[in-house]
A and B are shown apart, each in its own frame.
Chain A
Amino acid sequence: MKTIALIGNPNVGKSVLFYRLTGSYATVSNYPGTTVEISRGRANILGKLYTVYDTPGMYSFSPFTEEEKVTRRLLMEQSPDLVIHVADAKNLPRMLPLTIELINAGFAVILVLNMIDEAEKAGVYIRKNELARRLKIPVLEAAFLRGRGILQLKKAIAKLSSGLVMQKAQPAKEHYLVSKAARCLQGSYPFSKEMMARLCLEEDPEAVKLAKQQETREALDCLAAYVRAAGELPDWEMPLMRYRQAESILAGLYLVRGKKKKDGLLEKATLDPLGGLLITALVIYFGLYLFVGRFGAGVLVALLEEKILGGIVIPAVTGWLEKVLPAGALLDILTGEFGIVTMALRYILGIILPVTGTFFLVFALLEDSGYLPRLAFFADSLMRRIGLNGRAVIPLALGFGCGTMGVLVTRTLESRRERLLASFLLAAAIPCSAQLGLIMALLAGEPIYLLFWALVVAVVFFLAGKLLDCLLPGSRTPYFMELPPLRLPGLYALLKKTFARMYWYLKEVMPVFTLIAVLLWLLQQAKLLQVLIFFLQKAAASLGLPPETAGVFLYGFFRRDYGAAGLWELHRTGAVSGSRLLVASVVLTLFLPCSAQLAVMVRERGIIAALTIAACTALIAYTAGFLLNLLLRLPVF
């Protein structure tokens, strides 16, 4: 099967095209860095099957973030038969250098001028036929979000791949040092020798490693001479040459008519510190507090958990199971104290899903409007104080949805140090949506406690960040980010994304919850649960918490959302209230990252870093709870 890779700058619409071609949904948003992993799908294009890869955005063949490296690695390792370069039509002058790089690397390329509708509205006109003639590759116009240009693209793909080998365009002229260095290389590479030579001249670690495996001593010596010569050149010489090439190819073909439109008021307000603060306050109050906290975690949970599940579904299912199954282990696991039906199902569908669902909807709105990069912009000065830059706001904000997603998206940060810092903060002081929603609902009765909770978590966030910033060697990288235009999100896209995420979430948590039910039952049978509970009760008592909370912390070991659901239930039965509820909320928020997040942390940061982070967060949670308990016992409270 032939393979197609969708390549392009961040935020140009690759994931939309991926969905249009394969029918599988990859998250689409309006900010650079939505896609951090490769998605693979199968497409039937005019009767022929293809493997299609959706990739994180990349600016050039010389990557500087982890996500860009992911994409270049795909190009290196999979050597796709065809590359579709998706470009934002109105910004073509800035995108064309990548097209040239792709052609020069030896790929068969189709250039797609996406969002042509936005370009037309802005008065941009591109003479695409002449551009195709000059580049010697197919150039198409499209607006994938509106479904425009899909058929033409499919036809172009079919036509290009009808031959045995996809035809390739003539590469553009390279810098003379690159051409000379390319002649040293003898091995076989995934990219053209010119591209490999260029990457070696840039001392790209992956390219150098590959060359060392492939080449003889003499060839490497030959190359080394040119690497030294290239080191003498100013760093901008080669990239600038590529820009000039792109400019001369585009000369006379990219026309802007009419006067440029001034920025709207909203556009200005989102970049102004005061306006930004106001908008953020509105988002937190209406979006988070009212919609997620009061509506999702309040009204919806009451309806689903108490009325529908607790009142009708669960008694019915339990009754039926008790009739058809013999008494014993299986029935116990299904309907016992920690049973799959009695507890897991009720927690997931009744308590957690309404909260995460409403959160995902609000978050989708923020993502698609283009608000997040603006938030990142004006939080930059704040993030600077803890050794991060504004970019880190995006993974941290995603962490409010689910810590696992947040840790994955730290790939968009540039240095190892920043990725570690952000992972730590995600584990320690960013509550996930289920925690956030339920805690807001729990403490809503006493707003002063809610404020207190937010304050404690914020203080821990900054103290932990500050401390880590001092401890870790190195310093922050300067902040750069493209600000995408503000767009009015479409309702259909919002709902689709929300449901896709809810589905993903369910798929993620269902097996874990089943496992927890079985594990707890086994522990209970072995009388180990009682021992564990005994120690947790001791710990809880030292925080001034009642013994019932021990179970909540036990769930919290497995899943954050499970712990929050447990706390919610305890509150309903009246076991915890007032200041104890506050202490329990704080400890649970700062508590260990859940098992899924821990697993992703091990994968992305390594096992040592992950376990250290986990141990630190447990310590922080306990200390904060202990101090808070002491403070609340002072006579002034």
Chain B
Amino acid sequence: MPALLNLLQMPVGKTGKIVELATENRTILKKLLALGIVPGLYVTLLRNYPGIVIQTGFTTVALDRTAAVFILVCPEA
């Protein structure tokens, strides 16, 4: 099984499955969940500069590094 990466460590263009939202911060967690970023979801990293842009399904979401670092992903081979 490949190692888990957070979104900052994942290479641009790669797709992975969200395994965990590793934060105790309730506001961040609630927001991620509201936007539909939940464990089990496949996300593709579109950009990592100047901010993080991910795509899941037909939704594109921009978020900043402080939140992206908590999203742990298992990259697809």
How far, in whole Å, are A384 and B65 apart by their CA atoms in the complex? 12
| Chain A residues with a Cβ closer than 8 Å to the other chain, count | 37
Q: Counting CB contacts under 8 A, is B19 at the interface?
A: no
How far, in whole Å, are A378 and B47 apart by their CA atoms in the complex? 12
A483 neighbours in B (Cβ, 8 Å): 53, 60-62
Partner pick for A479 among B30, B32, B51, CB 8 A cutoff: B51
Most buried by A among B27, B35, B51, B63: B51
Partner pick for A240 among B33, B35, B63, CB 8 A cutoff: B33
B64 touches A389 (CB 8 A): yes
Q: How far is the CB of A143 from chain B (nearest CB, A)?
A: 15
B59 touches A94 (CB 8 A): yes
Q: Counting CB contacts under 8 A, is A251 at the interface?
A: no
Identify whether the interface residues of B are mostly helix, strand, loop, or mixed.
mixed
Q: Counting CB contacts under 8 A, is A129 at the interface?
A: no
A273 touches B60 (CB 8 A): no
Identify whether the interface residues of A are mostly helix, strand, loop, or mixed.
mixed
B58 touches A122 (CB 8 A): yes
Using a CB-CB cutoff of 8 Å, which residues 456-484 of chain A contact chain B?
Answer: 477-483
Q: A91-B59, A94-B59, A478-B64 are in contact. Are A271 and B47 (CB under 8 A)?
A: yes
A91 touches B27 (CB 8 A): no
How far, in whole Å, are A94 and B41 apart by their CA atoms in the complex? 11
Q: Counting CB contacts under 8 A, is A534 at the interface?
A: no
Q: Counting CB contacts under 8 A, is A245 at the interface?
A: no
Q: Counting CB contacts under 8 A, is A604 at the interface?
A: no
Q: A236-B21, A377-B53, A483-B53 are in contact. Are A243 and B62 (CB under 8 A)?
A: no
- Encode B20-63 as 1/0 by CB contact (under 8 A) with A: 01000011111111111011100000110111010001111111
B39 neighbours in A (Cβ, 8 Å): 236, 240
B57 neighbours in A (Cβ, 8 Å): 90-91, 93-94
Q: How far is the CB of B36 from chain A (nearest CB, A)?
A: 4
Q: A91-B58, A381-B50 are in contact. Are A236 and B38 (CB under 8 A)?
A: yes
- Nearest residue (CB) in A for B24 is A235
Which one of A36-44, A59-67, A346-354, A394-402 is at the B interface?
Answer: A59-67
B64 touches A482 (CB 8 A): no
B61 touches A478 (CB 8 A): no
Q: Counting CB contacts under 8 A, is B67 at the interface?
A: yes
Q: A90-B58, A91-B58, A240-B38 are in contact. Are A380 and B30 (CB under 8 A)?
A: no
Q: Counting CB contacts under 8 A, is A357 at the interface?
A: no
| Chain B residues with a Cβ closer than 8 Å to the other chain, count | 31
A80 neighbours in B (Cβ, 8 Å): none
Q: How far is the CB of B25 from chain A (nearest CB, A)?
A: 9
B62 touches A481 (CB 8 A): yes
B33 touches A273 (CB 8 A): no
Q: Counting CB contacts under 8 A, is A187 at the interface?
A: no
Q: Counting CB contacts under 8 A, is A390 at the interface?
A: yes
B33 touches A236 (CB 8 A): yes
B51 touches A390 (CB 8 A): yes
Q: Counting CB contacts under 8 A, is A239 at the interface?
A: yes
A378 touches B50 (CB 8 A): yes
- Nearest residue (CB) in B for A484 is B60
How far, in whole Å, are A611 and B67 apart by their CA atoms in the complex? 36
A271 touches B53 (CB 8 A): yes
How far, in whole Å, are A480 and B32 apart by their CA atoms in the complex? 8
Q: How far is the CB of A94 from chain B (nearest CB, A)?
A: 4
A373 neighbours in B (Cβ, 8 Å): 62
How far, in whole Å, are A271 and B50 apart by their CA atoms in the complex? 8
B34 touches A235 (CB 8 A): no
B61 neighbours in A (Cβ, 8 Å): 480-483
A235 touches B29 (CB 8 A): yes
B51 touches A59 (CB 8 A): no
Using a CB-CB cutoff of 8 Å, which residues 523-563 of chain A contact chain B?
Answer: none
How far, in whole Å, are A235 and B70 apart by their CA atoms in the complex? 14
Q: A380-B51, A380-B64, A478-B64 are in contact. Are A64 and B34 (CB under 8 A)?
A: yes
- Encode A361-396 as 1/0 by CB contact (under 8 A) with B: 000000000000100111011001000011000000
B62 neighbours in A (Cβ, 8 Å): 373, 376-377, 380, 390, 479-483
13 contacts between A and B (CB under 8 A): A60-B33, A64-B27, A124-B58, A235-B26, A236-B38, A240-B39, A378-B50, A381-B51, A384-B64, A389-B64, A478-B31, A483-B53, A483-B61
A273-B49, A373-B62, A478-B66 known; 12 new pairs, CB 8 Å cut-off, are A62-B34, A64-B31, A91-B58, A93-B57, A94-B59, A235-B30, A236-B38, A243-B33, A377-B62, A389-B64, A479-B51, A482-B62
Residue positions of A touching B, CB distance < 8 A: 59-60, 62, 64, 90-91, 93-94, 97, 122, 124, 235-236, 239-240, 243, 263, 271, 273, 373, 376-378, 380-381, 384, 389-390, 414, 477-483, 485
Residue positions of B touching A, CB distance < 8 A: 21, 26-36, 38-40, 46-47, 49-51, 53, 57-64, 66-67
Give the top 9 A-B pairs by smallest Cβ distance, nearest first: A94-B36, A59-B34, A239-B33, A483-B60, A479-B64, A90-B58, A377-B62, A478-B67, A478-B66
